[in-house]
Amino acid sequence: MLNNEKKYNLEQRTYEFARDCRFLVRSLHNTTSNIEDGKQLIRSSGSVGANYIEANEKLGDKDLKFRLKISRKEAKESEYWLKLLRDLNEDKTQKIEQLIAEASELRKILSAIINKLK
Annotated domain spans of the chain = 10-117
C-alpha 28/C-alpha 104 separation (Å) is 22
**pLDDT attached to residue 27:** 98
Residue 6 has pLDDT above 80, yes or no: no
Of the two residues 1 and 114, the one the predictor is more confident about is: 114
Q: Taking 80 as the threshold, does the pLDDT of residue 7 lie above it?
A: no
**What CATH code would you report for 10-117?**
1.20.1440.60
Using alpha carbons, select from 102, 36, 112 the residue that is nearest to residue 28. Answer: 36
First-to-last C-alpha distance (Å) of the chain: 29
25-50 pLDDT, tens digit per residue, is 999 999 999 999 999 999 999 999 99
Q: How far from 33 is each of 39, 57, 86, 87, CA to CA, in Å?
A: 10, 36, 12, 11
Question: What angle in degrees, to the nearest 10, is found between the helix axes of 32-56 and 93-117?
Answer: 30
What pLDDT does 86 receive? 98
Q: What integer pLDDT is reported at residue 3 of this predicted model?
A: 47
pTM comes to 0.90
Q: How far apart are CA 31 and CA 18, in angstroms?
A: 21
Of 7, 17, 29, 44, the C-alpha closest to 99 is 17
Checking 66-69 for CB contacts under 8 A at 24+ apart, the result is 68/110, 68/113, 68/114, 68/117, 69/114
